[in-house]
Amino acid sequence: MYRMLFGVQACAAKALYRRLAAVGSFAILLVALAGCSAPQDAQRAEAVIASVVSIAQAEEAALPPADAAILTPWANLGATLEGQLKTCISGATTAGSKKSAFLLCFNTFSQGLLSSTELASLRVMSGPSQARVQLIVTAISTGLNIAIAAFGGTVTPAPMVAQAQPTRRELLAFAKENGLSTSGF
C-alpha cells in the first residue's frame, strides 16, 4: 500500500512514516492547542514544526545524491526559518502575547518556506523523492495551518511538489496504518 500511495519503496516509506509518527503525532499535538494560552500554543506548534523540519534534514541521507542536493538548501532554509520562528514567538510573548503577533510569526514562516519560489526546485526531483518530500511538505503545511487557524488566520492548502496529493481516504488510511490520530486529516 505504501508503494501505491506514494510511489516509493515500501521499507523506505515505512521508515519515513515511523519518523513522522515519532514526532508525537504532529496532528494530535497541534489539535491540542485549543484551551492553552497563546504563548503555550505557539511554543507547542513551533516544537512540532521543528521536529518535521528535522525529519526533512534527516531525509537527505535517504535520497539519491542529486535529489539530496536539491533538498538540502530547502531543509536548511526550513531550519533557519524555524529558528526565526522561535525568536519571533519569544518576542511576541515578551510584547504581550497577542494572538495577532503569533499569527504573524507563523505566516512569515509559511511564506518563507512554502512559497512557490522555494518549492520550485523540489519539483525537479525524481518521482520517488518528490513523493517522500511531498509528505514532509504536507506535514509542515498541516501543522502551520492548524497553528494559523488557532490564532485566527486563514489556512491554505498544502502546496504541491509531487504529481498528486494523497486523497482524504488515503490520508486516513495512512494515519490508521501508522497509529496517528485521524483528527488532523
CB 89 within 8 A of CB 125: no
Lowest mean pLDDT among 23-27, 115-119, 132-136, 151-155: 23-27
Task: Give 88-95 contacts, CB < 8 A, sequence gap 24+.
Answer: 89/39, 89/42, 89/43, 89/46, 92/39, 92/42, 93/39, 93/42
Task: Identify the band that residue 181 occupies on the pLDDT scale cut at 50, 70 and 90.
Answer: low
pLDDT of residue 6: 35
| H or E element in which residue 120 lies | helix 116-120
CA separation for the pair 159, 163 (Å, rounded): 11
pLDDT of residue 161: 87
What percent of the chain clears pLDDT 70, i.e. is strictly above it? 70
Task: State the sign of the Cα–Cα–Cα–Cα dihedral 114, 96, 41, 22.
Answer: positive
Domain positions in the chain: 2-184
Q: How many helices (H) and strands (E) does the chain have?
A: 9, 0
Lowest mean pLDDT among 74-83, 138-147, 150-159: 138-147
What percent of the chain clears pLDDT 90, i.e. is strictly above it? 32
Question: Which range in 34-38, 50-54, 91-95, 129-133 is most confidently predicted, on average pLDDT?
Answer: 91-95
Q: Which three-class secondary structure state does DSSP give residue 37?
A: coil
This prediction's pTM: 0.75
Task: Identify the band that residue 110 occupies on the pLDDT scale cut at 50, 70 and 90.
Answer: very high
Q: Is the pLDDT reported for residue 73 higher than 90?
A: yes
pLDDT of residue 65: 94
